[in-house]
Amino acid sequence: MKLLTKVHGLFVAVGTFLRSPVLLVIRLYWGWQFFVTGRAHLQNLGRTTAFFRSLGIPMPHLNAIMAGSTELAGGLLLCAGLFSRFAAFALTVVMCVAFWTGDREALNAIFSNTDKFLGSDTFPFLFASVLVFCFGPGKIALDTLVFREKKA
């Protein structure tokens, strides 16, 4: 049992050491992907608006601007690790709406056909934003400098 405790302690130490670098990689990669996607939505606003209209989204032009702006700005904030949880929450909401309106078939298959749900283009974006929201940006982030916790 003593050996198992030592091995467990080693895994905890390694996992704790890797937490911030892994969160940094997630934030940089998916933050950039959000930025690129948001920029494309805004640069092709007519096409994005038409797509939103085809999905029956109310006020498609305004919602296309809001979604694209949230993805663009939220992606930049994730990359910087600044206001990370706020950005991750906003992006999570946008991705939930994207699932609900644009890929409801995959969303409805969440339990019956997990491959369809996990294979959706929306899923990795949603997953990354939920990870950052739940676990924070890690120590390698501007949030660490801006929101220093005072020791009691």
Domain regions of the chain by residue span: 21-146
Rounded Cα distance, 114 and 59, in Å = 32
pLDDT category, 136, cuts 50, 70, 90?
Answer: very high
In this predicted structure, the answer to whether residue 147 has a pLDDT above a threshold of 90 is no
pLDDT tens profile 115-128: 999 999 999 999 99
Rounded Cα distance, 76 and 74, in Å = 5
Rounded mean pLDDT of 11-31?
95
Residue 109 phi, psi dihedral angles, 5° rounding:
-90, 15
Rounded mean pLDDT of 58-78?
97
| Confidence (pTM) | 0.90
Residue with tokens 């209209």: 53
